[in-house]
Amino acid sequence: MNETTVTHISDVYPGRNSIDEKARPFLEQVESIVGDMESDKGAYMAKCKANRERIKNVVAEAKEAGLPVKAFRGLVKYRHLERKQAKIAAGIEDIDESAIYQELVDTLGELGAAAARSAGFNFGGTVAAEARAEAH
């Protein structure tokens, strides 16, 4: 029995462009784009680091002004989650799904309440109940 070992795709199709010759320009393009993405990610991370430093400075100023840092950070997180929740609710276009979402929020509580409570805020009830009371 005579076995032939194929070591390269061009051995199978002599005279044709090999698969690696066809793939090389595409591979180089993809690798270039990945390199660009890594560079963009580095620039983004540097910008985020600068913003985190700015936040750290503001929190230090708040502390110097006498605000309890843990409670202040909890409030920042709470407000961030409130905006996120509003965005989620606004993104639900189906009327039935929107009604179900609102019912779940009323029943289970709004996003962010747990984070705010863990940071020291006591609402004396659910946030949804307080919001309903203020609306009436």
> Across the chain, what does the average pLDDT equal?
79
Would the pLDDT of 15 be above 60?
no
Q: Are residues 132 and 100 in the same domain?
A: yes
Q: Are residues 110 and 121 in the same domain?
A: yes
Q: The tokens of 64 are what?
A: 């110097």
C-alpha–C-alpha distance, residues 76 and 66, integer Å: 16
Q: What is the model's pLDDT at position 128?
A: 47
- Compute how many other C-beta atoms are within 10 angstroms of the C-beta atom of residue 56: 10
C-alpha–C-alpha distance, residues 121 and 118, integer Å: 7
Residue 122 vs residues 49, 70, 71, 117: alpha-carbon distances, Å: 32, 14, 11, 6
Please count the structural domains in the chain: 2
Q: What is the mean pLDDT of residues 38-54?
A: 94
Residue 59 domain-assigned (yes or no): yes
Q: Are residues 61 and 85 in the same domain?
A: no
Residue 39 domain-assigned (yes or no): yes
Residue 111 domain-assigned (yes or no): yes
Q: Are residues 59 and 21 in the same domain?
A: yes
Q: Are residues 119 and 59 in the same domain?
A: no
Residue 2 domain-assigned (yes or no): no
**Residue burial 83-98, b: 16+ Cβ < 10 Å; e: rest:** eeeeeeeeeeeeeeee
Q: Are residues 28 and 83 in the same domain?
A: no
Q: What is the torsional sign of CA 36, 40, 41, 42?
A: positive
Residue 80 domain-assigned (yes or no): yes
What is the chain's alpha carbon radius of gyration, rounded to the nearest angstrom? 29
**pLDDT tens digits along 85-136:** 889 888 988 888 888 888 887 777 765 555 555 666 665 554 445 544 554 5
Q: Are residues 111 and 96 in the same domain?
A: yes
Contact (CB, 8 A) for 7 and 18: no
* Full domain range(s) for residue 134: 68-136
